[in-house]
Structure 1
Amino acid sequence: MSFRIRAALTGAVALAAAGGAGYLLGGPALAGYALFSTALCGAAALLWRQSRRAQAEQRRQQAAVRQLTEKVSGLSRRVKRLQEDQEQGRRHLADRIDATYARIRQVPGDTRRLVREDDRSGRVLDAIGAVREEVESIPRMTRRLVREWNRIVYAEVEDLTALYRDIEPDRALPQMHGWSAGADLARYLYCEVAEAGRSSVLECGSGTTTVILAYAFRARGHGRVVSLEHDPRFAAATRRMIEERGLGEWAEVVDAPLADAVVGDAVWPWYDLDAVPEGPFDLLLVDGPPASVGSEARYPAVPLLLDRLAKDALVVLDDTRRPDERAIGERWAAELEGFALESLGHDHGTLVLRRGGEAAL
C-alpha cells in the first residue's frame, strides 16, 4: 500500500474520530472545530513529512553528486598519471635512443683505441722484457761501475800525489772536489805550463786552477795567469789563497762584472771586455760564467777572445759532462776553422780545442 493511500485512510479515520468525539462532547459546533483542527494537523503532518522526504532526497542527491565528483576527480588523476607515465616513458625512450646513437658513434673510436691498446700491450710486453734484461744486467753494471769508480779514484789520487811532488807546497793545496776543478784537470794544466811551456794564460772564472797555474809559472820562472771573476766574493777568496802562498807575482785576479756582449745577432751576459787584457794568450781556460747565468753561458769566450789568442793557443773547457758545456765545445769546433776538438777522460769532463793556425768564425 502506498504512502498516499495510507495517509488518506489515516486522515479519514482521524477526522471521523475527531468529529464523533466533538459531537458527543459539545454538539455540532465542537464537532466542526474538531474536524477543522484535525484536518489542519493532518495537513501540517503531511507537509512535514514531505519536507523530510525532500530533505532526504536532497541529501541523497548531494551524496550522489559528491560521489560522482570524487569519481571524476579520481578519473582525472588517473588520466594525469597516465599522461605523466607516458611522457616519462617517451623521455626514457628518447634517452635510450640518444644513448644508442652516441654508442654507435663511439664504435669507430673504440675500434681505433682497441687497436692502439693491442699495440700498446705489445709495447708493454717489450718494455717488461727490456726491464728484465736491465735487472739481470745490474750485477754486471755494478761491477763495471765499481771498476770505473776505482779507476777514477786511483787517477785522482795519482794526479794529486804528482801535484804535491812537483809543487812541494809549504801548505795544503786548495780543495779539488765538489764544484772546484778536479785533480786531473789541475795536473793537466800544471803540465801544460811547467812542461809544455805555456807562458800566458787567461782564465774565465777564478779558484783552485788559478793557484795551480800560479805554482806552474813559479816553477818555470816566468809567465802569468790572469783570471776574470765577476763575483767579488770569489775574487776575494782567490786573492787570499794567492797571497797566503806568496804567488802574487804569478797570478792576477781581475774584477770583470758581467755585461752585455754581442756575438753575431745575439746578446750574451759575459765578462766586461774592457777588463780583459789584450794578450796574446797561448792558453784559454773557460770555467765561467756559471751555468746559473743562462743557457750556454760560456759560449761567448772563444768568439770574443779569438783575436787575443796566440797562433798555437790551446782552449780548455771544463765541466763538459754537462750537456750545455758539451754543446758549447761542439759548437766551437763546428764554427771555427783550424781547431781540432779533443775530449779528455776527466771526472768532470774536459774538452780541448787545439789551434794549429789562423782561425776564423
Structure 2
Amino acid sequence: MRSLRSLRSLRSLRPRWKYLAAAALVGAAAAAVFATLAALGLLSREGAAQLAVLSCVGAAVLANALLVVRLTRRVDTLGRRIDARARSVGDAVGAQHAQTAAALKEARAELEAVRERLPALSEELAKAVNVQGRHDYEQQVAWAELRDHLRPEAPFMPALRGWAASPDVIRLLVRTVEKHRPELVVECGSGASSVWLGYALRRAGAGRLVALEHSERYAELSRQLVRDHGLEDVVEVRYAPLTDWRPSDEEDGGRVQPWYDTSALEDLRDIGLVFVDGPPEGTAKQARYPAVPELLPRCAPDAVLVLDDAGRPDERRITKRWLRDFPELSAHEEQAEKGVRVFARKAM
C-alpha cells in the first residue's frame, strides 16, 4: 500500500521535474557561457561566477513561474468541471424535487376527493350490506319453508340462487301449483328448479313438468338430477337446441333470434303454468321474448306465466313488449331477490 502511494506521489511530481530539469539545463548552459567568457579573459572569474549563479536563479524562478501558470490553469479547469457537475446535480435535484412536489400535489388532490366521497361511499356500502343481508335472510327463510312444506325424500336438495332460481321464486311457483293445480307445467330451462317443481307437483297429487333445455350436456345432467330424486314419473327434461326463431308480426321487422327448437312443443296442450327462466341472457337480445308468442297459444285459459330475473333491463323490456303485443295479458310484480313478474289473461 505504501509503495502504491509513493508511486502515485512520484507521478504527481512529473510536471514539476520537467520544469526543474529545463531550468537546470538553462542554468548549466549559462554557466558554461560565462565560464568560456572568463577563460577568454572577457570576464573576471568572480563576475562569471556571479552571473552563472544569477542565471541559475533566474531559470529556477522562470520554471516556477511556468509551473504556477500550469497549475493555475489546471485549477481553473478543475473549478469549471466542479461547477458544471454541481449545476448538473442541482438541475437533477431540482427536477426530482419538482416531480416529487407534483406527485404529492396529485396525491393530496386524490386524497381530498376520497375524503369528500367517503360519507357517500360509506352510506352506499351500509345500504348494500343491509340489502344483501335482508336478501340472505329472506332466502334462508324461503329455503326452510320449502323443505318443511315439500318434505323431499332425498336428504340433500340441489342448491338454489346464483345461476339457479332463488328460493323465493321457487316458493312462489309452489304456491301457484297448489292454487291452480295445473295438469302441465312448462319450464324454459332446467336444473335445480325442475327438482323442486317436481316435488311440488307430486305433493299436489297431479300434473307433470316438461323442462326445455338448450344444452345437450346440461339436459343430461338435469335428467340425472331428476333420477337421483326419483321424479322421472313427474319431470321430463327435453333437449331443445337453439334454432332461428322469427316473430310472425311484421311490426318487429322480422328480426331473427335464437330460441328453443319449437318441434319440442308440438305435443304440449293446456299448459297451466309457464316458468320462463331461459334461454340465458347472453344468447340474444331479449332472449326470452319468444316464450309468450310460442307458449301462450298452447296455454289453458287460466294459465299463469312467471318471468324470472324481471329486475334486469332486458327482462323489463320484454315485459313491456309482451303487454304491448298481447293486450289480453295483465301483469303484476312479486317481491323477489332477482325480481319476478307474473302474467295471466285478463278476466272477461
TM value normalised by structure 1: 0.60
Name the counterpart of 1:197.
Answer: 181
Alpha-carbon separation, structure 1, partners of 2:179 and 2:300: 18
Alpha-carbon separation, structure 2, partners of 1:147 and 1:245: 36
| Match among 327, 330, 335 for residue 325 of structure 2 | 335
In structure 2, relative to structure 1, the CA distance for the partners of 1:150 and 1:246 (3 Å cut) is: same
Report whether the alignment pairs 1:206 with 2:195.
Answer: no
| Match among 300, 303, 306 for residue 310 of structure 1 | 300
Return the index of the structure with the highest Cα Rg. 1
Cα shift at 1:134? 5.8
The 5-angstrom pairing of residues 94-133 of structure 1 reads none
Name the counterpart of 2:262.
Answer: 273
The 5-angstrom pairing of residues 202-281 of structure 1 reads 202-263=186-247, 264=249, 265-276=254-265, 277-281=267-271
Cα shift at 1:145? 2.7
Name the counterpart of 1:354.
Answer: 344
What is the DSSP-based 3-state SS (H/G/I as helix, E as strand, rest coil) of the residue aligned with 1:266?
coil
Name the counterpart of 1:297.
Answer: 287
Cα shift at 1:132? 8.3
Report whether the alignment pairs 1:146 with 2:129.
Answer: yes
Cα shift at 1:168? 1.5
Whether the aligned pair in 2 keeps the contact of 1:340 and 1:353 (CA below 8 Å) is: yes
Q: What is the one-letter code of the residue matched to 1:167? A: L
What is the DSSP-based 3-state SS (H/G/I as helix, E as strand, rest coil) of the residue aligned with 2:333?
strand
Could you say which structure has the greater relative contact order, defined with CA pairs below 8 angstroms and 6 or more residues apart? 2
Report whether the alignment pairs 1:188 with 2:172.
Answer: yes
Cα shift at 1:196? 4.0
Whether the aligned pair in 2 keeps the contact of 1:312 and 1:356 (CA below 8 Å) is: no
What is the DSSP-based 3-state SS (H/G/I as helix, E as strand, rest coil) of the residue aligned with 1:175?
coil
Name the counterpart of 2:145.
Answer: 162
Alpha-carbon separation, structure 2, partners of 1:134 and 1:184: 35
Structure 1 unaligned residues grouped into runs of 5+: 1-129
Whether the aligned pair in 2 keeps the contact of 1:171 and 1:245 (CA below 8 Å) is: no
Report whether the alignment pairs 1:322 with 2:312.
Answer: yes
Alpha-carbon separation, structure 1, partners of 2:115 and 2:341: 36
Alpha-carbon separation, structure 1, partners of 2:333 and 2:117: 29
What is the DSSP-based 3-state SS (H/G/I as helix, E as strand, rest coil) of the residue aligned with 1:246?
coil
Alpha-carbon separation, structure 1, partners of 2:327 and 2:278: 24
4+ residue segments displaced more than 4 Å = 130-135
Alpha-carbon separation, structure 2, partners of 1:282 and 1:133: 55
What is the DSSP-based 3-state SS (H/G/I as helix, E as strand, rest coil) of the residue aligned with 2:211?
strand
Whether the aligned pair in 1 keeps the contact of 2:181 and 2:206 (CA below 8 Å) is: no
What is the DSSP-based 3-state SS (H/G/I as helix, E as strand, rest coil) of the residue aligned with 1:212?
helix
Alignment RMSD, CA only?
2.2
Name the counterpart of 1:94.
Answer: none
Whether the aligned pair in 2 keeps the contact of 1:311 and 1:357 (CA below 8 Å) is: no
Number of residue equivalences? 230
Identity %: 38
In structure 2, relative to structure 1, the CA distance for the partners of 1:292 and 1:147 (3 Å cut) is: closer
The 5-angstrom pairing of residues 19-34 of structure 1 reads none
Deviations 1:25-78, CA, capped at 9 Å, x for gaps: xxxxxxxxxxxxxxxxxxxxxxxxxxxxxxxxxxxxxxxxxxxxxxxxxxxxxx
TM value normalised by structure 2: 0.62
Alpha-carbon separation, structure 1, partners of 2:156 and 2:320: 36
What is the DSSP-based 3-state SS (H/G/I as helix, E as strand, rest coil) of the residue aligned with 1:239?
helix
Alpha-carbon separation, structure 1, partners of 2:293 and 2:347: 16
Whether the aligned pair in 1 keeps the contact of 2:304 and 2:344 (CA below 8 Å) is: yes
Q: What is the one-letter code of the residue matched to 2:184? A: S
Cα shift at 1:158? 0.5
